[in-house]
Structure 1
């Protein structure tokens, strides 16, 4: 990832990808199991479906609990906004109309396996990062850059976990 000087209002994004020696359906079973995502990165601690649901569909919501040494502990409610089995799974954090972030997994058949991409966008809605920027507006670009690098590291770790799980025979 290179320095872009992005501001939060620019809705900066991060994307990582990997190839997995497994079918898109096998990979889908992992990426769409939100409760399984906890522990795949250093930040996400637990996830649970809300309103008694147990599987993804557009409009369904889940609660995520996270921890970060600089931000402490917090929870967010996310709403599934993209759900095409074997192809795409995405959710908006907070208000789906003005999310604090959007996350997405995209699966594509490739070379008898699956190319898995994880993508995320900051904003446009306010998040915990907004409070740090409010306190230090002169450091906004650095704050955004550092946070995007953290997301990139955690997303890379998440994809490695998914790859390992999907490739187990």
Structure 2
């Protein structure tokens, strides 16, 4: 798979908790920073927070790219079913001079489905189409593009699985 294919990774988990409780956790933008190996902290840029078009800032770190900042826009919100956000590079660190949520670095989402005895929670990300840290690495090693995309998807899968485990534990512990 190549970057231009807009690769996607998604995982899901069954949670023995009501969809309302799972929604509360999935839409807490601060929560993933507790479980992610890359996301360090998050804060709302707009008040009142969780509404379509609202923005939040994230601060990230990894061993290859160091530290960077993102801005995310809420692009889909259907309580208590779907929460999605488009991530842009507000500082042009990766090469796009005019960040636009219609052409994001990545798009992330949670999808919740009520099921007997609980909730099925899916969490996923789609890479691109805007330039990102991944494209910087691909620029340096274009002949390894497919392997680099697979490595990035594996990193994202690790973060997604950690977030899902964390939400499951919190939701089920609260009864």
TM-score (norm 1): 0.93
Say yes or no: does 1:115 pair with 2:110.
no
Runs of 4+ in 1 over 4 A off after TM superposition: none
Deviation track 1:117-165 (CA, whole Å, cap 9, x = no partner) reads 0011000111111111111111111110000001111110110000011
Deviation track 1:25-77 (CA, whole Å, cap 9, x = no partner) reads 101111111022212111110000003x2531110000001111111111100
Deviation track 1:68-92 (CA, whole Å, cap 9, x = no partner) reads 1111111100100011111000000
Q: Hey, what does 1:3 align to over in structure 2?
A: none
Say yes or no: does 1:12 pair with 2:18.
no
What is the RMSD of the two structures over their aligned residues, measured on CA atoms? Answer: 0.9
Determine which of 68, 72, 81 is the counterpart of 1:74: 68
Give 5+ residue unaligned stretches, structure 2.
Answer: 89-99
Give the 5 Å matches for 1:5-154. 6-51=1-46, 53-94=47-88, 95-154=100-159
2:104 match: secondary structure: coil
TM-score (norm 2): 0.90
Q: 1:168, CA displacement in angstroms?
A: 1.2
